[in-house]
Amino acid sequence: MAKDPTDYSTVDFIAPTLHVTCGQVLMDRQRHIAIVAKKGRTCAHLVRVKSGVLKLTRLSAKELVEEWSDADYPFDRAVAKLLDLGKQHGMTDGARRALEELTRSGREPVQQSLFG
C-alpha cells in the first residue's frame, strides 16, 4: 500500500533516494519550475526562484520528493525562462554559473522519473 502524500503522522524508515539527473526540469505545487543543477548521493541543488531572486538551493532527497515533481516542460524553454527571470529580478553567482554550465552542455538531458 502506497503512503498517502498528505499523511505527515507516519515515519518513513527507508531513506528516499534521488532519481534525478542534472538538467532535469521539476515543478512544485505552485507550478514554479526549477532545474537540477547538481546531484549528490543524498542531496540535489536546484536553480529556482526563491524570495524573488534566482538562487541555487540545496535540497535533501526527502525534501525533493515531498515538494517537487516531474515537469512536462521543455529543457530549453525552462533555461530561457529562468535566465529571463534572473535578468529581471536578479540572480546569485551560483545560479548564473549553474545555468551557464547547463546551457554549455548543448543537449537536453535524459529525463528520469522522480519517483523511480
Domain ranges of the chain: 25-104
pLDDT score, position 96: 93
For residue 47, what are the CA distances in angstroms to 34, 74, 93?
6, 15, 11
Task: Using alpha carbons, select from 32, 37, 66 the residue that is nearest to residue 49.
Answer: 32
pLDDT per residue as tens digits for the range 35-60: 999 988 889 999 999 988 999 999 99
User: What's the rounded Cα separation, in Å, for the pair 97 and 113?
Assistant: 26
pTM for this predicted structure? 0.76
pLDDT per residue as tens digits for the range 57-92: 999 988 998 899 989 889 889 999 999 999 999 999
